[in-house]
Amino acid sequence: MIQAITAKAQKTITIALAGNPNSGKTTLFNHLTGAHQHVGNYPGVTVEKKEGKTSHKGSEIAVIDLPGTYSLTAYSIEERVARAAIIDEKPDVIVDVVDSSNLERNLYLATQLMEMELPLILAFNMADLAKERGFLFDLEHLSTLLGVPIISTVGRTGHGVAGLLDRVLEVADGSCAGQKREINYGKEIEGAIEQVLPLISQIPTRYAGSPKRWLALKLIEQDKEIAEAFEDAKLLAAVDEVVKRLTVLLGEGPEVVIAERRYGFISGACQECVKTTTEMRHDVSDMIDTIVTHKALGLPIFLVLMYFVFQLTFTVGTPFVMLLEKIFAALGAGISSFWPAGSDSLVRSLLVDGVIGGVGGVLTFLPNVVLLFMAIAVLEDTGYMARAAFVVDHIMHKIGLHGKSFIPMLVGFGCSVPAIMATRILESRRNRLTTIMVIPLMSCGARYPIYALIIPAFFPLKWHGPVMWLIYVTGIALAVAVAKILRLTIFKGETIPFVMELPPYRMPTAKALVIHAWERAKLYLQKAGTTILMASLIMWGATNFPRWEGVVTVERGGAESVTAVVEGSAEGGVTVGRGGGEAAQMQLTHSIAGRVGAFIEPAIKPLGFDWKIGTALVGAFAAKEIFVSQMGVVFATDGQGNQTLRDKLAESYSGLTGFCIMLFCLIAIPCMATVAITKAETGGWKWALFQLGGLTVLAYLVVLIVYQVGHGLGLG
């Protein structure tokens, strides 16, 4: 007996979390598994597969987070993957995570899982929100009607999770089996099922454990995957005749009637077991939506909110940025103090200009980045960003897309890589490719350090927020224009309609906001310590080698100066300050970076750029933030911080050139990671190279027009 109990305790139970998007499924998954999770892709598709582990009362539990889906009809990639995972991986228990504040829509998936006769538990999640919205549930009675155990949960706080795991163990060992409930689809559909059932003589191997009634129903629904699995031509021909007869009798396809009967079953159950209080009649969410989704007010409200986000990041973040600049400047000065006054040591230059000036120049913007992502997280977690997509839906329709495409574009404000991956929610390949092509036009977090460097250098304080806002809006406007052109030409075709979902408003928790900010900050720090550090060192080497032999370093009277001796010069030499002057300029001109810059300078000179800007732009292909570190290296700021770099930029260029730098960085040359993910998501290099080349050409033309017109008006 003891051995049997031990064996049972050591058994690993596999559960799969199913549920609609925005049902809180991922939050519940994270609460269950914590740090014990990993992410991959389902075999053969680019849909994320999240798996994790937890333990409860001596049992190890493996948790699979299925893609969020509204049904298992297998039309979209997510639906096919979710159903395939259930059929092929055969989890011990299915936990359907239901948004209990939007019950009737969420239970549609539950009815399909019930039809598959799976070991099922319903987690009525967001129970706190449902209560706030005025819902009262008789869960015991509803569980009896559905024949499925129901547990009330709040994923973000962990309420009900222990009870859910208790029920998982009971369902897994068979001590809490649900009662089989069949939906009556009406005389015609039920008659068709009875007609098809005897014809299913041999079930395909993959569906060996599936109920015959479910298979018959899927055949009548004309489920393509199920039909292809049957190789019985006689069966399929008979099903086609049944479907044709039903279509004539019902006046529409049987799949439509089946869906209506499922919703009718759900509605009947909810009528008996769900009550609403008077507070439901005019909830706060509806009142807010009448304003923020208003046809006339919605777009201005979105633009104003984004303006306040950028103003906030500058206003609140500036003192912290200045503090970090002072710290890195002091660090650079401290390192320089280890070398004799007037010395021109390469090691000193490597540490101060290459490492401190390069990496430190990027890290000083960390407070701005954290504030930006925290502000965006507030808009996302409250549910406003979904409203923003709804607001621009009518605009997106005019360019051949819809509001659903704007959701990945909004993700692009953070990073283009996850934004491109987020286009998986789009059913149409044309829509998906169009959206992928324009996502890099959304100003990602990596561009923020560039803006934060340039704007204070050329614009007064009161213009910091407006100029930042203008750059972001310019990116959105260009994305809309380019998408329109692509939909009229390369990706011409009809737009698939869809229903825009507006999740309920929620008050974001402090913990969630801190997690959002920390995740972004961690990625930023990791990039600074790896990609940016490596690029900074490469750029330092490119600006210091080969060495110019005309430079001779001497100490004279203890003064901190060097003498730059130019061979053949009639004057015999010029005196310059350490790290600057004619000697430094001669070294830069003689270096690899200088030669590359001189080669590309004729092409970029019409844009108002010189070779220094050009070499930094080329280096920024690895990561956009690298532009800042490379400009610091090129201008040899001696680790004195970004304010010194800003002063040098202001001395060297006009405000028009500064604006054109930001505009070019906004549009041109997607970073290396973006090109790689575009290649992966589109299935080849064709569209990745098209994106890279097309956006770079667009950037050149736009900046050329802006600079030449501005220059003609005397602005630079």
Distances in Å between the alpha carbon of 149 and those of 126, 129, 135?
Answer: 17, 21, 19
Distances in Å between the alpha carbon of 300 and those of 105, 263, 294, 464?
Answer: 32, 38, 10, 20
The dihedrals phi and psi of 125, each to the nearest 5 degrees, come to: -80, 170
Q: How many CB atoms lie within 10 A of CB 565?
A: 16
| pTM score of the predicted model | 0.58
How is residue 328 written in tokens? 């890195």
How is residue 95 written in tokens? 């936990």
Distance CA 74, CA 112 (A): 12
Q: Are 661 and 672 in contact (CB under 8 A)?
A: no
For residues 118-146, give the mean pLDDT: 89
- pLDDT over threshold 90, residue 306: no
Confidence of residue 495 (pLDDT cuts 50, 70, 90): low
Q: What pLDDT is attached to residue 333? A: 80
Find the helix or strand (DSSP H, E) in which 349 lies.
Answer: helix 346-349
Q: What pLDDT is attached to residue 572? A: 34
Q: What is the DSSP string of 32-62?
A: HHTT-EEEEE-TTS--EEEEEEEEETTEEEE
Distance CA 682, CA 46 (A): 10
235-271, pLDDT tens digit by residue?
Answer: 899 999 999 988 888 778 888 889 888 887 887 788 7
Which of 9-13, 320-324, 708-712 bottoms out in mean pLDDT, i.e. has the lowest? 9-13
For residues 171-176, give the mean pLDDT: 83
- pLDDT over threshold 90, residue 402: no
- pLDDT over threshold 90, residue 657: yes
The dihedrals phi and psi of 345, each to the nearest 5 degrees, come to: -65, 135
Q: What pLDDT is attached to residue 344? A: 58
- pLDDT over threshold 80, residue 194: yes
- pLDDT over threshold 90, residue 701: yes
Which of 234-243, 518-527, 658-667 bottoms out in mean pLDDT, i.e. has the lowest? 518-527
Q: Are 586 and 564 in contact (CB under 8 A)?
A: yes
* Helix, strand, coil percent content, the chain, rounded in steps of 5: 65, 10, 25
Distance CA 150, CA 140 (A): 8
Q: Are 287 and 384 in contact (CB under 8 A)?
A: no
If one compares 426 and 319, the residue with the highest pLDDT of the two is 319
Q: Are 679 and 670 in contact (CB under 8 A)?
A: no
- pLDDT over threshold 70, residue 34: yes
Task: Provide the residue type at 495 as one letter.
Answer: T
What are the structural domains, with CATH classification, of the chain?
2-172 (3.40.50.300), 186-280 (1.10.287.1770), 282-553+577-716 (no CATH)
**Strands of 562-564's sheet, edge to edge?**
551-552, 562-564, 574-576
- pLDDT over threshold 60, residue 468: yes
Q: What pLDDT is attached to residue 637? A: 60
- pLDDT over threshold 90, residue 585: no
- pLDDT over threshold 50, residue 626: yes
Pairing of strands 59-65, 150-152: unpaired
Distance CA 626, CA 638 (A): 17
If one compares 415 and 228, the residue with the highest pLDDT of the two is 228
Closest CA to 214 of 93, 111, 68, 94: 111
Q: What pLDDT is attached to residue 518? A: 80
For residues 220-240, give the mean pLDDT: 88
Q: What pLDDT is attached to residue 625? A: 79
Mean model confidence pLDDT for the chain: 80
For residues 313-319, give the mean pLDDT: 82
How is residue 539 written in tokens? 């750029």
Three-state SS at 322: helix
Distance CA 193, CA 441 (A): 52
Q: Which residues contact 715 (CB under 8 A, 6 or more apart)?
A: 654, 655, 656
136-158, pLDDT tens digit by residue?
Answer: 899 998 998 888 999 999 988 88
How is residue 32 written in tokens? 């269950």
For residues 18-46, give the mean pLDDT: 73
**Placement of tokens 């310019």 in the chain:** 474
- pLDDT over threshold 60, residue 690: yes
325-374, pLDDT tens digit by residue?
Answer: 788 878 878 887 787 655 556 787 778 766 776 677 677 778 877 887 78
Q: What pLDDT is attached to residue 39? A: 52
Q: Are 19 and 98 in contact (CB under 8 A)?
A: yes
If one compares 4 and 703, the residue with the highest pLDDT of the two is 703
Which of 402-406, 562-566, 637-641 bottoms out in mean pLDDT, i.e. has the lowest? 562-566
Distance CA 233, CA 227 (A): 10
- pLDDT over threshold 90, residue 82: no
Q: What pLDDT is attached to residue 563? A: 43
Q: Are 145 and 288 in contact (CB under 8 A)?
A: no
Confidence of residue 570 (pLDDT cuts 50, 70, 90): very low
Q: Which residues contact 677 (CB under 8 A, 6 or more apart)?
A: 416, 417, 420, 421
- pLDDT over threshold 70, residue 562: no
Closest CA to 377 of 410, 409, 403: 410
- pLDDT over threshold 60, residue 15: yes
- pLDDT over threshold 90, residue 14: yes
Q: What is the CA radius of gyration of the chain?
A: 31
How is residue 400 written in tokens? 């051949």
Q: Which residues contact 69 (CB under 8 A, 6 or more apart)?
A: 18, 20, 21, 76, 78, 79, 82, 109
The dihedrals phi and psi of 41, each to the nearest 5 degrees, come to: -120, 145
Pairing of strands 150-152, 120-125: parallel
Distance CA 509, CA 9 (A): 36
Q: What pLDDT is attached to residue 520? A: 73
Q: How many CB atoms lie within 10 A of CB 707?
A: 23
Q: Which residues contact 654 (CB under 8 A, 6 or more apart)?
A: 458, 608, 715, 716
Closest CA to 98 of 88, 111, 85, 87: 111
User: Hey, which residues does 629 pair with through a beta bridge?
Assistant: none
Q: Are 14 and 52 in contact (CB under 8 A)?
A: no
Exposed (0-12), middle (13-18) or buried (19+): which is 333, by Cβ within 10 Å? middle
- pLDDT over threshold 60, residue 580: no
Q: Are 69 and 82 in contact (CB under 8 A)?
A: yes
